[in-house]
Structure 1
């Protein structure tokens, strides 16, 4: 598979023994899915470790007739690692956002190599530690900021990730963005309106940040919430 070098470069696999990596890849299979295909369902057993090679997947959850987006997974990245290692059920569902190519590694192979490859096991601990810290940052973002502040910081982060040009292209529709930020679509619309005096100009999925300093003063970004490297 031509994407194996990309997978090998992931922190999770980079330093593990070559023979063990080859064993994982020989057991895996690469599959392409069209948009809006449900890959996993919360409550089902975790039979595979998923590696996003191309496209994107929305992880979401539902309860009592309500549904919310949790995360958008983009290449190159793994997802559902914790459930695989614990031989547990999925806590989230997942569906493709667009045409996607995903490498599926049988969970039993991942657990077997985890038990005997100490370098891989340490990489797994680092990966899960990073995911845990990400969850804590997300909780802080939702609990310590109001809706307008969450949106403002989201736009500043997106601008930095997209080159810092002052023009942000939303990677998801506004309904999904609202769910990711813990809002209703109506609250998101009101938050965008509130940010207009701070130089936030909305044109469909394209957002222009014409007063970044004013927006930053309102948002008050914190490295303990917004910096992905901490």
Structure 2
């Protein structure tokens, strides 16, 4: 990790739009942001480990962070967090230790909130607790959607869903450029790298062409049929 810095105006504005703060009024939002500093991590840096005593929760400003659990030398990805997403905020309301590990997957800048300081705000500004509960509810809904897709969709269907929800359409055609390496996309979709490669190969017949991080979709409607 590279030192803690005061949040810039642009970073504060981004945090104000994040789910954890967007429902708060200006005074509540300013009070919440006063508990945060900006921290920078290099690729593969660990933010914290599972079972470690929790002092902070985070909101991602740039880059990507992997949340995972490990046991007996094996690891299971829980989520790949993108800019604007928060994690660990539930510890303000309950719990003492992290129940997963967090690792920066690229150069990442995060807002790091002091849990003890945020807890101290709740009696005077209880709507902050409501905003945290709202963020946790959204995490739950997203997790349920992810679990359902993992159980109901094939690998090509998971990839097709990601492409359709992230592409830019131009008539019947569409395109996108992955903001990260394919190995990170595989983690995000709960696939092994070789399974992702097979899924892309299977989608060629549906008009999907992959060149590095650039992906072209010949016919959006055809891909939707997948």
What TM bracket, shorter-length normalisation? 0.7 to 0.9
Give the whole-Å Cα distance in 2 for the aligned partners of 1:17 and 1:208.
42
Give yes or no for the alignment of 1:71 onto 2:79.
yes
**Among 164, 176, 186, the residue aligned to 1:178:** 186
Give the whole-Å Cα distance in 2 for the aligned partners of 1:138 and 1:151.
13
Q: In the alignment, is the contact (CA less than 8 A) between 2:122 and 2:128 conserved in 1? A: yes
3-state secondary structure, aligned to 1:12: helix
Equivalent position of 1:35 in the other structure: 43
3-state secondary structure, aligned to 2:128: helix
Give the structure-2-normalised TM-score. 0.84
Seen in structure 2, the aligned counterparts of structure 1 residues 201 and 22 have a Cα distance that, compared at 3 Å, is: closer
Equivalent position of 1:206 in the other structure: 214
Give the whole-Å Cα distance in 2 for the aligned partners of 1:65 and 1:121.
37
Equivalent position of 1:164 in the other structure: 169
| Root-mean-square deviation (Å) | 2.1
Q: In the alignment, is the contact (CA less than 8 A) between 1:16 and 1:117 conserved in 2? A: no
Shift in Å, 1:18: 4.9
Shift in Å, 1:41: 1.2
The correspondence of residues 58-137 of structure 1 with structure 2, limited to 5 A, is: 58-137=66-145
3-state secondary structure, aligned to 1:117: coil
Equivalent position of 1:227 in the other structure: none
Equivalent position of 1:215 in the other structure: 223
Give the structure-1-normalised TM-score. 0.83
3-state secondary structure, aligned to 1:76: coil
Q: In the alignment, is the contact (CA less than 8 A) between 2:32 and 2:118 conserved in 1? A: yes
**Structure 1, unaligned runs of 5 or more:** 219-230
Q: In the alignment, is the contact (CA less than 8 A) between 2:91 and 2:115 conserved in 1? A: no
Equivalent position of 1:191 in the other structure: 199
Shift in Å, 1:199: 0.5
Aligned length: 215
Bigger fraction of residues in strand: 2
The correspondence of residues 2-41 of structure 1 with structure 2, limited to 5 A, is: 2=9, 3-16=11-24, 18=26, 20-41=28-49
Equivalent position of 1:140 in the other structure: 148
Q: In the alignment, is the contact (CA less than 8 A) between 1:36 and 1:98 conserved in 2? A: yes
Shift in Å, 1:195: 1.0
